[in-house]
Amino acid sequence: MRFVRDHIIPPAPPPRRAGGPLAWMRNNLFAGPGNVVTTLLILGALAWIGPALARFLVLDAVWTGTSGDACRPEVIGRPVGACWAFIGEKINYLAYGSYPAAERWRPNLFFGLLALGAAWMLWLGAPRRDLGAWFVFAILPVASWLLLSGAPALGLASVATALWGGILVTLVVSAVGIVASLPLGILLALGRRSDLPVLRFACIGFIEFWRGVPLITVLFMANVMLPLFLPGDVTVDRLLRPLIGIALFASAYMAEVVRGGLQAIPAGQGQAALALGMTRAQAMRCVVLPQALKVVVPGIVNTLIGLFKDTTLVAIVGIADFVRVLEAARADPRWSAPAIPATAYAFAALFYLAVCFSMARYAGFIARRLAAGDRR
């Protein structure tokens, strides 16, 4: 047998007990030839992009000014990077769109409620997280709608959705997509694995239909075609239409992600739960679903990040989302300078990066924490 050694391996010296930054670099950055090449390539790329980025975003940036002239190199006599003064002047419009200035405490309160709901659900040590779930999935949607669109009965002047815009609309669309797609997606995934044929085929039909059409088609149907089919006196709010479309679209994708998790759980888990005397609902709720959702956390977060970025598509059907208001803001002739378009897109990139990166980091934390049980 060639696999059997015919001599004894000579004893190797003990591993060097190395510490400190030098040893860390040797182990992590320059451990082998491939490792060295990769490290050098990445360092080279950083040296190439980093200074230019720093110059554009910070060092050469213009922070104050009242018109585009403040961001013209020949006017201020130095190279100009990003024109943050432009963002500063337009920030109210970028945040709220045309929401009436006197009523802007309402979007602010909405942002606060959203942050509270998110923190309650996301901080694992938070008290009464069962109440938090009720808050996020039941109270928050109703309260937000009343708060933002107004309820004359409660003394809140109504604000037409045509006036909403900017970060407010982007957050509303994403929040609706996320809050609606998670429970709907789980229900659809369970329905798809049901033994009842009518329910199963209804769920399959729903999922395959929404996965089969592009989101942009859904939005066009909702905002351009649907009003032609409806009788003239029936009007559905023009922000609500794409919201419903996005929620249904996202839940179909979420359903498939959750189904992946359900299929990964061995049938024995559910059977064992039934053998212990649990009902089918209890078995699903207490044994199968928790394990399945744990498996698909990366998939869920992936879908949510995709959803968050897809919401910019609503701009095409005339909803003034964050990207759309940026485009409108930079049409201002008072602020037209060569640096403005790059500034606007850099700001958009930073905004999306900040939100998506924090979602990804949080998902990483959750995944590590859930995996703690497997490492034991």
Least distance CB 336 / other proteins (angstroms) = 4
Contacting residue, 65, 71, 82, 97, with other proteins by CB under 8 A: 97
Q: Which is nearer to other proteins, 89 or 310 (CB)?
A: 89
Least distance CB 301 / other proteins (angstroms) = 32
> Using CB under 8 A, which of the segments 55-63, 106-114, 198-206, 232-240 binds other proteins?
232-240
- Cα–Cα distance, 94 to 325 (Å, whole number): 6
Total binding residues for other proteins by CB under 8 A?
Answer: 47
How far is it between the farthest Cα atoms of the chain? Answer: 92
Q: Does 337 bind other proteins (CB under 8 A)?
A: yes
CB atoms within 10 A of CB 249: 23
In sequence order, what are the residues at sequence separation of 6 or more whose Cβ sits closer than 8 angstroms to the Cβ of residue 363? 297, 298, 300, 301
Q: Which is nearer to other proteins, 258 or 329 (CB)?
A: 329
Q: Does 236 bind other proteins (CB under 8 A)?
A: no
CB atoms within 10 A of CB 79: 11
- State phi, psi for 164 to the nearest 5 degrees: -70, 150
Q: What share of the chain is helix, strand, coil (3-state, %, to 5)?
A: 75, 0, 25
Q: Does 163 bind other proteins (CB under 8 A)?
A: yes
Q: Which is nearer to other proteins, 90 or 192 (CB)?
A: 90
- Cα–Cα distance, 200 to 284 (Å, whole number): 17
Q: Which residues pair with 166 in a beta bridge?
A: 321
Q: Does 228 bind other proteins (CB under 8 A)?
A: yes
Which residues 342-371 are close enough to bind other proteins by CB under 8 A? none
- Cα–Cα distance, 136 to 130 (Å, whole number): 10
Please give the residue ranges that form the binding site for other proteins (CB under 8 A): 68, 72-74, 89-90, 92-93, 96-99, 101, 160, 162-163, 165, 223-225, 227-233, 235, 238, 316-318, 320, 324-325, 327-329, 331-334, 336-338, 340-341
